[in-house]
Chain A
Amino acid sequence: MRLMPRLKLATGLALASPVAALLFPDAASAHALVGRKDLPVPAWLFAWGASLVLIISFALLSVAWTTARLQDEDWRAMPRWLSAAVLNAGTQLVCGLIGVGLFVVVLYAGFRGIEDPTQNFSVVFVFYTFWLGLVVLSVLFGDVFRAFNPWRAIGRTISGGFRLAAGQSAPAPLRYPEKFGRWPAVLGVLLFVWLELIAGGGASPTPHDVAIATIVYSAITFVCMGLFGVEEWIERGETFNAYFGMFARLGPFEARDGEVGRRRFLTGAPQWAVVPGAAALVLTSIAVTSFDGAQEGVFSGVIQWTFERCNDIGFSLPNSFRIANSIWLLITLVGVSGLYWLGVTGMHTVRSSPPVKELGRSFAHTLIPIALAYLVAHYFSAFLYQEQAQFTYILSDPLGHGSDLFGTAGGGINYGIVGSNTVWYVQVAALVVGHVTALTLAHDRALKVYDSVRHASRSQYFMLAVMVGFTCFGLFLLSQANA
């Protein structure tokens, strides 16, 4: 996403002035930070990345190991003092308070702060520091969001209070239906990204939109925690826990039963629970990142065309934008999912395959590295810029009203912090590393699923095609104008 303080449609139809003024009141633009976009990856680097992907893929096939090595996690507790230091009641309380505190600031800044999204804590924090930053932290340090999750902290406090008052645990009237699996999180991620990229009807969502969405999501979460139990809902249904938890599977650290532990490299992902909707969650992550990259690049022409047709038949300009972009978001989702399930169907033709659905689920985790690679490739530079904003003027002046809490309100974004060459190499490297990791996970899983090495290897021709497809599509998006 690019933060856009005011409405600006890509090309063609310019808004009639009074409408725009009504919808998007002007905001002081002390730091106007639409800023810098990445140059497309040059053609030669695109060609090199793509050929490297092919060379590595076939090399990997020919040197591949013949017994599964990553399916046993071998999680081991780290020294006791570390667990005692990290997971004690005090740190849990502090982390919970920080989470709830930030949650309150998002709401307060959303309702009371300046309407310019580039100047308001709520927008910059939610879409950059929270949504992207926690992915980074999850991969490096494990499932840290659980500790800071404000809904969990509030839910636990309430159920703890209930226990004190009533002398027994709060009853959970319903059991979480197994067939729901990760589907609530899939819906949550889609709606979150819809808010980010589409809801504004051509501009960024306003801080007010963000605050309203936060309240709606909180209400749903509290109702569901009441119905299914606090930990039960957080573990299974809560969108952000499921989403960040998915990326935490790639990292080495995990806390279990009050102990911090580590596991062998890459052995966490295969343990990602095989439940309904698991494949959909990771495919949705890949699709929404692709859509963000394509929205103002590869897809801009077709989106514009759809937008004009919607406008022709009488929808307002912002609604035409919303409809056109929603349609293409769904098309991206169908395309990305279609590629994966096509590969799974291909794999299914190999003898000793389990049923298609089960097969698809059991390889879902192999796409997590690709989802991560897409995020890094697409948001690396934007994240570095917006975090400078987050820790300078957004920190000291969260409402945009001219306060200077920590003396950093005068700071700004240094766009020279990374140059185009660095950005390109990071982008291509992320996709190539993600590709190799995904292939590694898939090959290893095949050795477990299939009854012979021969069948396992044969099944991987299909997965290889899927992975090459995703990686080259990712490279292609980067080589086109993106935003």
Chain B
Amino acid sequence: MQSRAARLGLIAAVVVAAIVVFVVLRDNNSNTSSNTSKGVQVLNVDARGNPVGGVKTLTYNKGDQVELRVNLAKPEDAVHVHGYEIEKPAKQSPVTFSFPAKLDGVFEVEVHKLNESGDAQIAELHVNP
């Protein structure tokens, strides 16, 4: 395998193989998932400001409408969607959100508790490209 032609041939073969595998794999696995969260998603928050049943993962495709209803057991400071930087006061329950998923990536939804007592993540938005 020391001749120049043989080397170039092998390199070309590798490039072709890489491209073919890429195209095949990519076409068989579209990024857009059909397993997305539709409609209004309800997030319940307990009296300590923590999510009931743990942090929920909500999956969207880019461009979907994100609709959230956060039910609070007691007044909090604010509910904050990171990355999108939407923050709504949380003196009264429920706090509702409705916005288009324009950015892809992973974003946290947090409750900012009253009296400077920290933040609690209540949901994670996964927006597929």
Partner-B contacts on A (CB < 8 A):
6-8, 11, 14-15, 17-18, 20-21, 24-26, 29, 32, 34-39, 42-45, 47-48, 51-52, 55-56, 59, 62-63, 66, 412, 415-416, 419-421, 481
Contacts and interface: CB of A to CB of B under 8 A. Distances in A.
B48 interface: yes
A48 B118 contact: no
A48 B104 contact: no
A21 B117 contact: yes
Contacts of B83: 35-36, 415
A148 to B, nearest CB: 33
A37 B105 contact: yes
Interface in B2-26: 2, 6-7, 10-11, 13-14, 17-18, 21-22, 25-26
Given A21-B116, A36-B82, A420 B104 contact: yes
A34 B121 CA distance: 12
Contact size class for B? Answer: 35 or more
B54 A419 contact: no
A32 B126 contact: no
A467 B120 CA distance: 40
B28 interface: yes
Contacts of A52: 18, 21
Contact of A36 (B11, B103, B110): B103
B26 A17 contact: no
Q: Which 9 A-B residue pairs are closest in the complex by CB-CB distance? A: A26-B116, A17-B117, A44-B29, A37-B106, A36-B83, A36-B105, A44-B25, A420-B129, A20-B118
Interface in B51-110: 54-55, 80, 82-83, 85, 87, 102-108, 110
A63 B11 contact: yes
A436 to B, nearest CB: 11
A279 to B, nearest CB: 30
B116 A415 contact: no
B129 A419 contact: yes
B126 A39 contact: yes
Given A37-B105, A42-B31, A8 B22 contact: no
B104 A39 contact: yes
Interface in B110-129: 110, 112-113, 115-121, 126-129
Given A32-B82, A37-B105, 7 more contacts: A11-B54, A21-B115, A24-B118, A32-B85, A39-B129, A43-B29, A48-B22
Given A32-B80, A36-B105, A420-B105, A15 B118 contact: yes
20 contacts: A8-B121, A17-B118, A20-B117, A24-B118, A34-B82, A36-B105, A38-B105, A38-B106, A42-B31, A44-B26, A45-B25, A48-B18, A51-B21, A55-B18, A62-B1, A63-B10, A415-B83, A415-B105, A420-B129, A421-B129
Nearest to A35: B83
A55 B17 contact: yes
Contacts of A35: 82-83, 107
Contacts of B108: 34
Contact of A14 (B7, B22, B120): B120
A370 to B, nearest CB: 20
A17 B10 contact: no
A25 B48 contact: no
Contacts of B112: 29
A156 B42 CA distance: 63
Pick the most buried of B6, B50, B119: most chain A CB atoms within 10 A of its CB.
Answer: B119
Contacts of B22: 48
Nearest to B105: A36
B82 A59 contact: no
A37 B107 CA distance: 6
Contacts of B80: 32
Contacts of B14: 55-56, 59
Nearest to A14: B50
A456 to B, nearest CB: 15
Contacts of B107: 35-37
A11 B55 contact: yes
A6 B21 contact: no
A425 B94 CA distance: 40
Given A6-B118, A25-B116, A32-B80, A63 B105 contact: no
B88 to A, nearest CB: 13
A26 B114 CA distance: 10
Contact of B29 (A32, A42, A51, A420): A42
A8 B25 contact: no
A59 B117 contact: no
Given A44-B29, A63-B1, A14 B106 contact: no
Nearest to A51: B21
A37 B7 CA distance: 42
